[in-house]
Structure 1
Amino acid sequence: MITVNSHASSFNSHAPINSTVAATSVLSVSSDKDETLATASTTREVTNSTVSLLARQLSEAAIRAGSRLRSKNEDSFHAITGDNYIVNKAHYGAVPPNTDNPELLARARQANGFVDGTDSNPFKGLARDQLSLIAGDDSGSFTLNERRSAWEELQATAPKLDNHSEPTPAHGRDLLIARLYRGVEPPVALPPATRENGTQNHADFLNREDRALISDMYAYAAAQGADLRFVDHLAFEIGTYRHYSDGRQLAGSNVRYDGEGYQVTFDFKPEDAAIASSVLNGTAIKSTRFDQGFLQYILHPAQGAFSNIGGVPFLEKMVKKFSSEGADQPPLGSEFSTLKKIRIEDHIVQTTNKNIRLPPFKPVVEKLNGVWTVTEHGKAEGYTMDKITGRLIKPVEPSDLAGPQRSEPGLATGAARDRTLLEALSGNRETPTKRWFWAGNVFNLIKSLKP
């Protein structure tokens, strides 16, 4: 039987793959009594509409993967594994696919239900090369939640350790290369995050010490019968920390404002907060192989409450295991045998402060009878509008005026400050003198998530 190899088709193969081949591969996951039908499908048109639709999509995805000129470092899964996906997952589920086909609409709804934890995976049972094609296809043929469903099935069906073999550091290294780098380990990528490397695989930025530690964690977790996705998640968090200049480009905060403008504070749930405090103030942190800067970063609610959701207990086990106290640690419990679906509301405590509220928004321009004009508030703030170009002219503040520049205390001559993610992606090193961040939208998205 001819199948589509995900790695070859994604990066090396430029030969078109016809729909008959893709249909054959799809049918190969059927029951035994359907094997005859699967074989016959290589010589005749598939009549089942559901299979034909998916087969055609897989065929087209394979052709796109083979012909797409992709940077060797670009992570095709970034859109469905990054933090942006987690925050916007509810929004993605609310956007229907661009089709009137009832079967495609039904599959998209099932994928939405799967990522919300209320339905089964629509791609369960597909071959791993087919799952890889779906998860990595960014053409819009599959919805983001469909791609996420395929990616989760990839993780669930990843090769596991042979029960008859003893895990070794070398085996842990093999797991790291297979799970984080799809078989080929790249050199260590260097921060900071920029517009050019913004979608690069975060794991590329893991340094040699990080990779050695994560390899040992894979070997240990495999020996303990733990779900290796716990290690995957932790490796991704360390990689993200490295990518963004050891977290300095991620100016995080656990304080937001809701849709009504009230201040809302987010924190770990009490059990996780107690564990975080225990790790940061315990004795193991003094000898652990984990970067202490990373632990301070990820165990602070400004970052960890959102990105390390549900992962604090496993992190505690790893910090202690890979320290001078490791030999005295008990084995991993059964709670780590399967990574269960995470409900954000079960892991984040939010507190609304009714005494702190953003001032009401006052626009500086408004549209009257199809014409934009400066409002009274805008005039009071000094804004004007050019009558010829119609452009809004912002009042110049003293800090915007050209003049001698002062060096910041402690900054060496010619040294550049760490740039935030926003500055890096904008390509502009100058920070605006005023910037409002309306976080109510982020709050509403997070509040509506139902993983």
Structure 2
Amino acid sequence: MGIHGVGNGYIENATLASVKYEAGKAASLTQSTEVNVRGSKQAQESSTVTLSGRAIMASRLFSSESGEPPVLPSIRTNGEYMGMLPQHFLTESDRSLISEVYELAYEKGVDLRYVDQLARDLGRYRKHDNGTMLISFNEGSYDLQGRKQTISFTEKDAATAERILSGGALSSTDIDQGFIRWRLDPGIGFGLSSNLDFLEQMVIQFSSRADEVAELGAKFSTHVWIENNYILHTADEVTLHRPSVSEAPTEEDQVKEALASFQISKHGLNERLLEGFFGKSEARNTAQSLLSRLFDLLKISNTSKRG
């Protein structure tokens, strides 16, 4: 007989044992009760599946049940990894922390997509050499007319960012402070996806002030994708002069400029090539030798044609 109704108090042969008769005797009520109680306990244990945060992370970020891929270095040191997904750049320390976040979120009934987004943004930070390879939009962006453009968070997100940066939890949180400040730069953060309210709760949760965390499940049980959570500002004054079409250099001007900057004559270039192969002291003799051989070849060719 197979197992039926896991979680409902039935296990293999439990029903049969409860109605079994011994020779000439009625079934023992004590025996029957003991079997059912034992079966109920085993069924309850079987129905409770405990997933570690590490397993959840491996499944959601790497789609792997057999292990995690190795940590990749930043693309500053190896450009071949440019096309790799950001989570592959999470360090071992990052992965341990994100695993704890997944486990906490799972236990509290938080939609795990909030953790996915946080993990991927942290991976982007690592991928780009701790954010140093990405320039903030606010550091030099202009429209076509040459007017300065900047980006700010919405009033709500700006208030959240301010609470994180000025709160007492920032100094003791396990989440990389460099990443937090990078994420909270509006010129960078507007292109990222992690939820700032969720980030705020995680900064507090993984700090010395964890007791201040509100009920996570009630607030983050259903993932909400927030769009247009930034404001684009364009200055009135033109501060960047862009050359007009008439002022733009022509192709002829560009060619002349290139030739003017190229100071090496044809003869000089030949000498430099020879110097590279034979050394400066032998270059002149080698050039003469090559010319002599060339003339000899021409003579031989002309003689053979006449014959």
TM-score scaled to structure 1, two decimals?
0.43
Unaligned runs of 5+ in 2: 1-46, 262-307
In structure 2, the partner of 1:279 is 164
CA contact (8 A) 1:279 1:285 kept: yes
Identity %: 33
Could you tell me which residue of structure 2 aligns to residue 393 of structure 1? 258
Task: State the secondary structure of the residue aligned to 1:247.
Answer: coil
Q: What letter matches 1:378 in structure 2?
A: P
Moved more, 225-234 or 201-210: 201-210
Contact preservation (8 Å) 1:383, 1:395: no
- Kept after mapping to 1: 8 A contact 2:88/2:123: yes
**Counterpart residue number, 1:230:** 114
**2:186 alignment partner, one of 284, 301, 321:** 301
Answer yes or no: is the 8 Å Cα contact 2:160–2:197 preserved in 1.
yes
Contact 2:151 2:231 in 1 (8 A): yes
Q: 1:186 aligns with which of 49, 58, 69?
A: 69
Normalised TM-score (structure 2)? 0.62
Question: Secondary structure at the residue paired with 1:187?
Answer: coil
2: CA distance between counterparts of 1:359 and 1:308? 34
Alpha-carbon separation, structure 1, partners of 2:146 and 2:247? 23
> Aligned partners of 2:182, 2:171: CA distance in 1, in Å?
16
Match of 1:78 in 2: none
Measured against aligned partners, the alpha-carbon deviations of 1:205-255 in whole angstroms (never above 9, x if no partner) come to 111111111011111111121110110000001111111111111122235
Looking at structure 2, the residues matched to 395 and 246 of structure 1 have their Cα atoms a distance apart, in angstroms, of 42
Residue identity opposite 2:54 in structure 1: R
Matched residue type, 2:60: R
What residue is the counterpart of 1:446 in the other structure?
A: none
Contact 1:186 1:204 in 2 (8 A): yes
Residue in structure 1 matching 2:151, options 250, 254, 266: 266
Deviations 1:276-309 (A, max 9, x none): 1111121101111101111111111121122146
Number of residue pairs the alignment of both structures matches: 212
Contact 1:205-1:243 at 8 Å conserved across structures:
yes
Residue correspondence of structure 1 range 343-382 to structure 2 within 5 A: 343-344=227-228, 347-363=229-245, 377-378=248-249
Residue 353 of structure 1: SS of its match in structure 2? Answer: strand
Are residue 177 (structure 1) and residue 58 (structure 2) matched?
yes
- Cα distance in structure 1, aligned partners of 2:131 and 2:176: 12
How far apart in 2 are the matches of 1:182 and 1:205? 15
Alignment of 1:24-423 (within 5 A): 165=48, 171-183=52-64, 184-193=67-76, 194-254=78-138, 256-308=141-193, 311-332=195-216, 334-344=218-228, 347-363=229-245, 377-378=248-249, 383-385=253-255, 393=258
- Runs of 5+ in structure 1 lacking a partner? 1-163, 364-374, 387-391, 397-451
Amino acid of the residue matched to residue 330 of structure 1?
Answer: A
- Cα separation, 1, equivalents of 2:130 and 2:69: 20
Conserved? CA contact 1:265–1:351, under 8 Å = yes
Deviations 1:327-359 (A, max 9, x none): 332221534122223322xx1012221123432
User: Alpha-carbon deviations, 1:82-101, whole Å to 9, x = none?
Assistant: xxxxxxxxxxxxxxxxxxxx
* Aligned CA distance change for structure 1 residues 256 and 293 (closer, same or farther; 3 Å): same
Letter in 1 for 2:126: R
What's the Cα RMSD here?
A: 2.7
Whole-angstrom distance in 1 between the partners of 2:82 and 2:119: 18
- Helix, strand or coil: the match of 1:350? strand
**Contact 1:383–1:394 (CA under 8 A) maintained in structure 2:** no
- Post-superposition shift, 1:271? 1.4
2:260 and 2:239 mapped to 1: Cα distance? 27
